[in-house]
A = this chain, B = another copy of it.
């Protein structure tokens, strides 16, 4: 058995007025709960340190207040310190401003000694780049972030994390089977994903929460099953300054079944002991890619971006 005792640390809402320090205190509280339940890895949501600011059109000077120029930094150092002291690896999302002035929606992973060992930058940015008066609220991720430039790498984790092959995605990436498959083609055993998903579709108000939770879970379960990998999807949830975010954090096994699901829209910890060897059956039978994939027929996937329907 190659085990990771995994904690999915769903976070309740973060208001615009909440300080990073206050948020980090909540993250440390979740970390300590997780340690008490034996976790060796705790995963927090996308943009875990702040409110989901892309819902607002802002001046660029104001925008930069939501970004981190280094990681760790004075606000997050107490989280890294506590994780190191407890021997628990952590993974969370934040808005990254590089020294060159580039902005990314980023997620990192540390080892159990508190060193950052992996960084992913969100590839599939949803939403739009200019103010859209037809929407109930804005979703300006394409304005505030560049698409990730690191692809979908995987990392072989240390022996004290089961030697697992881990990869990361962020939020909307989960709806794109390409993201899952690129990880799957590198033998991923644990797919880590954080999200901030509005409870309301800004372009179809009547869609409803239940449908949106279904779409999220459908995508995560299909991605896990079809790549025979553990998956953890962790929400920031609840009402942020009048804007509801859905919960529904889940841990999914390599057979595509939900093994733990959040019940609230608040800070809430899910725990599951994940045996990385449970990925083996799927990877060596129905999803043995070497025997079954037929890449000679997949050319459009890499060769064209847009759909090109036949004339008619």
- Whether A124 contacts B294 by the Cβ 8 Å rule is yes
Residues of B within 8 A of A255 (CB): 211, 215
* Cross-interface CB contact of A300 among B163, B185, B215, B219, cutoff 8 Å: B185
Q: Tell me, in angstroms, the Cα distance from A172 to B291 when the chains sit together.
A: 13
Known: A177-B177, A187-B310, A306-B289. A256 touches B182 (CB 8 A): no
Q: Tell me, in angstroms, the Cα distance from A184 to B300 when the chains sit together.
A: 10
Known: A290-B306, A305-B290, A307-B290. A123 touches B297 (CB 8 A): yes
A8–chain B nearest beta-carbon distance, Å = 21
Interface residue count for A (Cβ, 8 Å)?
A: 66
Q: Tell me, in angstroms, the Cα distance from A242 to B203 when the chains sit together.
A: 52
- Whether A292 contacts B126 by the Cβ 8 Å rule is yes
Those of A161-192 within 8 Å (CB) of chain B: 163, 165, 172, 175-178, 180-182, 184-187
Residue on B nearest A224 in the bound complex, by CB: B218
- Whether A219 contacts B226 by the Cβ 8 Å rule is yes
One of A42-50, A53-61, A261-269, A280-288 contacting the partner: A280-288
5 tightest A-B CB contacts, nearest first: A187-B309, A177-B177, A222-B222, A290-B306, A156-B312
* Residues in A lying within 8 Å of B, measured CB to CB: 123-126, 147-148, 151-152, 154-156, 163, 165, 172, 175-178, 180-182, 184-187, 203-204, 211, 214-215, 218-219, 221-222, 225-226, 255-257, 281, 283, 285-287, 289-290, 292-295, 297-312
Report 12 cross-chain contacts, Cβ distance below 8 Å, ordered by A residue: A147-B294, A154-B309, A156-B311, A165-B312, A175-B287, A178-B181, A182-B300, A186-B309, A214-B257, A218-B256, A301-B301, A301-B302
Q: 17 additional contacts, CB 8 Å, given A125-B292, A185-B304, A186-B307? A: A123-B294, A123-B297, A124-B293, A147-B294, A152-B297, A165-B312, A176-B226, A177-B226, A178-B181, A178-B297, A182-B297, A184-B307, A187-B308, A289-B306, A293-B305, A295-B303, A301-B301
